[in-house]
Structure 1
Amino acid sequence: MIEIQNIHKAFGDNQVLKGIDAVYEPGKVSMIIGGSGSGKSTLLKCIVGLHQPDQGRVFFGKQEFTKMDFEEKVPIRKEIGMLFQASALFDSMTVEQNIVFTLDMFTEMSLAEKVDRANFCLERVNLAGKNNLFPAELSGGMKKRVGIARAISMNPKYLFCDEPNSGLDPATSILIDELIQDLTEEYQSTTIVVTHDMNSVMGIGEYVMFLHKGEKFWEGSNKDMLKSDVKELNDFVFASPLMKAARETMK
């Protein structure tokens, strides 16, 4: 479980986050949604420790992450898998080397053990045999799957995904969503996904938090979201005709 309490973050005079509270449960896919500039990615970076909140606390289980020094955070960071928006693969490394890189940093496995683990993770994301390809040889969806393979290489207790469907076609987006959901159930990980893809939210969003201008305006399930009377949420969710039609079927 992850709990965040009263998270504030500013960059200069720009107050990006204004007192965010939430609880993220294991075995569930939790979504953070909102318009551009609402604070979604900043909140994710505060949770994983890439940004230090100006105020507030982040707990991984019963451990207060925000008060730890670098060395104290290492054991928790070993339990974190992170999928970045652009996959963040090293262009000069092969698929296998990209996965082994994380294992080099955080484990003392032998090279053979690392390769075995890389092969297992690639099989899990349906990329078996792609070990020696370079990122330039991969499609956008394949890059995302390599990013997921790297993220799960450490058997993560916590899985973070920043815009995992960005730039993907609808069919590939569904495959990525299903993979994230399957892995969350398999590992019973606490999974947090930042997204603006409402198809993704409706498909796998068991808990949804809506941010607006740095504040938490609404939280609940994806089904409850369709029945909300919060104007700011409705303006965001039902901007597309597809989502308007989905709401009509709920009436």
Structure 2
Amino acid sequence: MIEIKDIYKTFGDNDVLKGISATFQTGKNNLIIGGSGSGKTTLLKCIVGLHEPTKGQVFFEEENFTDMDFTQRVPIRTQIGMLFQNSALFDSMTVEQNIMFPLNLFTKQSAAEKLDRANFCLERVNLKDKNKLFPSELSGGMKKRVGIARAIAMQPKYLFVDEPNSGLDPKTSIVIDDLINDITNEYQMTTVVVTHDMNSVMGIGDHIIFLHQGQKWWEGSNKDIAHTYNKELNDFVFASKFMQAAKEKL
């Protein structure tokens, strides 16, 4: 479980986050949604420590992450897996080397143990025997799956995913959503996903917080969305559906 309390983040005169509190539940797909500039990615970065909140606190299993120094944060950081928007694979490394990168940094496993773990993770994301390929040889969807494999290499308790379906076609997006959902349930991780993809929201949104102008504007599940009277959320949701329908007609 992750709890955030009264998170503010200011850049110069720009108040990006304004007093956000929420609890992200274990074994659930916790989604952060909202329009461009609403503060989604900034909030994600505040939770994992890539940004320091201007005010407020972040707790991992009741441990105050915000008040820890760099060294104190290391044990929690080794339990965090991250999938960045562009997958952030190292172009000069093979798929196998990319997945083993965190194992090389944070474990004392033997070469054979690290290879076994890399092979297991590749099989888990349906990329068996792709070890020796380089990122330039992969499709967008395959890169995302390698990113997921690397994110789970350390068997994390917490998985953070930023726009997993960015740049992917609808069919591949469903594959990625299903994979995130399956892994979350299988390993009972606390998964936090930043997305603007309404198909993801309706498909895997166990717990959703909607940000509007840097504030938490609504909270609920994908089942609750259809029954909400929140104007800004409805505008966001149905505008997204309208745009998708319009694209499909072209």
Report the TM range for the smaller structure's normalisation. Answer: over 0.9
User: Percent of aligned positions with the same letter in both sequences?
Assistant: 72
Distance in 2, matches of 1:243 and 1:136, equals 31
Query: 2:75 maps to which residue?
Result: 75
Report the CA distance between 1:227 and its aligned residue.
1.3
Query: 1:117 maps to which residue?
Result: 117
Report the CA distance between 1:8 and its aligned residue.
0.2
2:198/2:240 contact within 8 Å kept: no
Query: 1:185 maps to which residue?
Result: 185
Instruction: Say which SS state the counterpart of residue 66 (structure 1) adopts.
Output: coil
Q: Report matched runs for 1:35-184 at 5 Å.
A: 35-184=35-184
Q: Which runs of 5+ in 2 are unaligned?
A: 246-250
1:38/1:211 contact within 8 Å kept: yes
User: What TM-score does the superposition give when structure 2 sets the normalisation length?
Assistant: 0.96
Report the CA distance between 1:226 and its aligned residue.
1.5
User: Where has structure 1 moved over 4 Å in runs of 4 or more?
Assistant: 241-245
Residue range with higher mean Cα deviation, 232-241 or 77-86: 232-241
Distance in 1, matches of 2:242 and 2:186, equals 31
The answer on 1:31 being equivalent to 2:31 is: yes
Instruction: Say which SS state the counterpart of residue 218 (structure 1) adopts.
Output: strand
Letter of the 1:211 partner, please give it: L
Q: Report matched runs for 1:192-207 at 5 Å.
A: 192-207=192-207
Letter of the 2:157 partner, please give it: K
**CA shift digits 1:193-230 (9 cap, x unpaired):** 00000000000000010000100000001111121111
Report the CA distance between 1:240 and its aligned residue.
3.7
Distance in 2, matches of 1:54 and 1:29, equals 27
Instruction: Say which SS state the counterpart of residue 44 (structure 1) adopts.
Output: helix
Letter of the 2:127 partner, please give it: L
2:3/2:59 contact within 8 Å kept: yes
Over the aligned positions, Cα root-mean-square deviation in angstroms equals: 1.2
Instruction: Say which SS state the counterpart of residue 21 (structure 2) adopts.
Output: strand
User: What TM-score does the superposition give when structure 1 sets the normalisation length?
Assistant: 0.96
1:238/1:244 contact within 8 Å kept: no
Distance in 2, matches of 1:27 and 1:127, equals 24
Q: Which runs of 5+ in 1 are unaligned?
A: 246-251
Query: 1:249 maps to which residue?
Result: none
Letter of the 1:126 partner, please give it: N
Distance in 1, matches of 2:124 and 2:23, equals 29
